[in-house]
Amino acid sequence: MIPFPPRVLPKQLCNIERLVDALTMRNLDGVVVSSPYNTYYLSGFKGVAHKSDEPRPYAVVLSRHQPDHPILVVADYYVGSLISQPTWIEDIRAFRAVMLPLDLPAQDGDLERFLPRGIDELPWAGNLRAHYANNIAQSCSEAMADLGLSSGRVAFDDLRFGHQLGMESIEVVDGYDPMMYARCVKTDAEIELLKRATTVNEQAIRRSIKTWGPGMMWQEFNHEYHKAVVEMGGFVRDPGAMVWGHPCGGDPAVTLHSRLDDFVMEPGMNILFDCHGTLDLYCWDGGKTWVVDGDATGDAKQYANATADAATAVMEAMRPGVTISDLQRVGRAVYRTNGVAGADDVLIFFHGLGLSHMELEQFSADGVPNHDWQLEANMVVPLHILYPGDEHHRIWIEEVVRVTPDGGEPFFGWGLDPIITV
């Protein structure tokens, strides 16, 4: 039995009120999204066959002036997917796509071959047939006209697609930041999906640790983690889930895993789990330190204790209105108070988490770079703390944290101390 099998998701994941605020602040009349994640965010639709750099076979059109009437546009062959995973969007339109023949004339009933039995029971079926377009550009242009977006300022998360529509009466604007403004604060449904994804990661890490034995190679261990994830129902992306590199031979450099790195995982070596993957397209992240076949001792134990104390203090401070630099000062002060050398060398950093590992505006509505960003309630923000050192002294914690008025709520259930093999 798969511990985390596919399941029907809530009809609506998105924070429409916040998206409308983002459009209003930027004087935008609407937004057209066609990237896979933004389409999924606004509609709940996810296409099984599409790859990220292929022409878009779907889009969502939303007007700031009619936010309760978005329009979902999909390739005809994707219509059936909307039967098993409902969407809150009630205006769904299809267009002719790659599966239909070019060597035969188009037929009025071409759409019917893609419509499963029972579709007529759905409220949007009649409208679907009435708006069967020749291509996605025609479908989106008609949808925009129906929503009053044939003129004005319209944001596109793919500027190339916006310009390809050739609508000279609109001003095409970059839609990245308005979408990220909406996505950075999570709905209750998103928070539950992120907690579920974090649980997959935690359990996969524990499973992979149990496979270790003397002489095991790092590449073998990575494969065991990947197998554990898939067996539980999650996914990892090529080239792999593990992020941190592990320089050996006393090298204290901070590196990322190249996917070609390999070494024997000797007892006493500190392994830093920073694992990426997805469940229901929502990301997991993080982990902490595992001392292979042992526990932190000596100086490493002192560093581990100080890192756990720093993480505790930072999570306590993760409240709305606090900036990233504020949090870094809080964490670094703990190392100094604990008398640990090298406080200035500790890396303490943050990002958003959701459908991606950023989910933050790059520029605010007034054009200011959003480097030292402020926390808001219901952001989900991974806290990263790395005390650098060689393979026996480097210590790492990455906790996934929900921001609340009472401080950060951790998603992992295993605490902040290094993992002990049991």
For position 275, which CATH number holds?
3.90.230.10
Residues 168-223 pLDDT 10s: 999 999 999 999 999 999 999 999 999 999 999 999 999 999 999 999 999 999 99
Integer Rg of the chain from CA:
24
Identify whether residues 156 and 172 lie together within a single domain: yes
Residue 18, pLDDT > 90, answer yes
Residue 240, pLDDT > 80, answer yes
Indicate the pLDDT class of residue 53, thresholds 50, 70 and 90. Answer: confident
Residue 65 burial class via C-beta count within 10 angstroms: exposed 0-12, middle 13-18, buried 19 and up:
middle
Q: At what angle do helices 188-210 and 218-232 cross, to 10 degrees?
A: 130
pLDDT at 182: 98
Residues 246-276 pLDDT 10s: 999 999 999 999 989 999 999 999 999 999 9
Identify whether residues 26 and 160 lie together within a single domain: yes
Q: At what angle do helices 176-183 and 36-43 cross, to 10 degrees?
A: 50
Q: How many domains does the chain have?
A: 2
Mean local confidence (pLDDT), 159-165? 96
Mean local confidence (pLDDT), 71-93? 95
Boundary of a domain, candidates 153, 183, 213: 183
Identify whether residues 101 and 241 lie together within a single domain: no
Boundary of a domain, candidates 133, 168, 183: 183
Identify whether residues 203 and 79 lie together within a single domain: no
DSSP 198-232: HHHHHHHHHHHHHT--TT-BHHHHHHHHHHHHHHH
pLDDT at 108: 85
The verdict on residue 326 lying in a domain is yes
Domain range spanning residue 322?
A: 188-410
Residue 126, pLDDT > 90, answer no
Residue 75, pLDDT > 90, answer yes
Mean local confidence (pLDDT), 36-47? 96
The verdict on residue 4 lying in a domain is no
Identify whether residues 59 and 175 lie together within a single domain: yes
Identify whether residues 394 and 366 lie together within a single domain: yes
- What is the chain's mean pLDDT, rounded? 96
Residue 355 burial class via C-beta count within 10 angstroms: exposed 0-12, middle 13-18, buried 19 and up:
buried
Indicate the pLDDT class of residue 84, thresholds 50, 70 and 90. Answer: confident
The verdict on residue 373 lying in a domain is yes
Report the distance separating Cα 2 and Cα 5, nearest Å.
Answer: 5
Indicate the pLDDT class of residue 422, thresholds 50, 70 and 90. Answer: low
Identify whether residues 29 and 127 lie together within a single domain: yes
Boundary of a domain, candidates 183, 211, 232: 183
Residues 42-52 pLDDT 10s: 999 998 988 87
Contact 389, 249 (CB under 8 A): no
